Amino acid sequence: MTAQRWMALVAMLTGLLAPAGPAASAGKNGGKAVSAEYAHIYDTLRALRGELEDKRRAVIRETMHFDDAEAKAFWPLYDRYRREVGKLDDRRDRLLTRYLAALDAMTDARADALMTEQLAIDRDRLRLQQQYYRRFKRILPVRRAVRFFQLDRKLDLVVELNHAQSLPLVD
């Protein structure tokens, strides 16, 4: 993928992820109570993830150039991987929702609990990537598995950067 094409992809994904503001979205947030102002952010984040997943799949298909045998082995494993990642993304989205709801009245204890959960999510994501990297190496040549994980990480960083730009820091 050329640098120019990559930048176009980043722009497209970033546009999809543009912050909608606290009043842009309502619903459940994994059983955690939040103020009405933030109650639907979780549902909005999940909906955006669904849109992004389709685009992610297209980018991977276009970038990896699988032959028929590779595609037959890759996509079922990829789907299992993304389902597991989706569970971590759900945790992150619930955490972001709780963070935004607590921001105006953040206590040390709440900040510590939120940060501890973020670190646990990061740890679990790394473990999942390590586990699936080993699995992808069984079905793809090593350099192709590395290429996939590089691409996967780049796409994740676009999402993470958007979250980082959108979230205020704790006072």
- The answer to whether residues 120 and 92 touch, using CB atoms and an 8 Å cutoff, is no
The domains of the chain are located at 3-166
- The answer to whether residues 122 and 86 touch, using CB atoms and an 8 Å cutoff, is no
**Least reliable range by pLDDT among 32-36, 56-60, 67-71, 115-119:** 32-36
Instruction: Name the residue among 114, 125, 109 with its Cα closest to residue 160.
Output: 125
CA distance 63 to 3: 12
- The answer to whether residues 49 and 17 touch, using CB atoms and an 8 Å cutoff, is no
* Percent of the chain whose predicted confidence (pLDDT) is above 90: 56
Q: What is the pLDDT of residues 80-133, one digit of tens each?
A: 999 999 999 999 988 998 998 899 899 999 999 999 999 999 999 999 999 999
pTM passes above 0.85: no
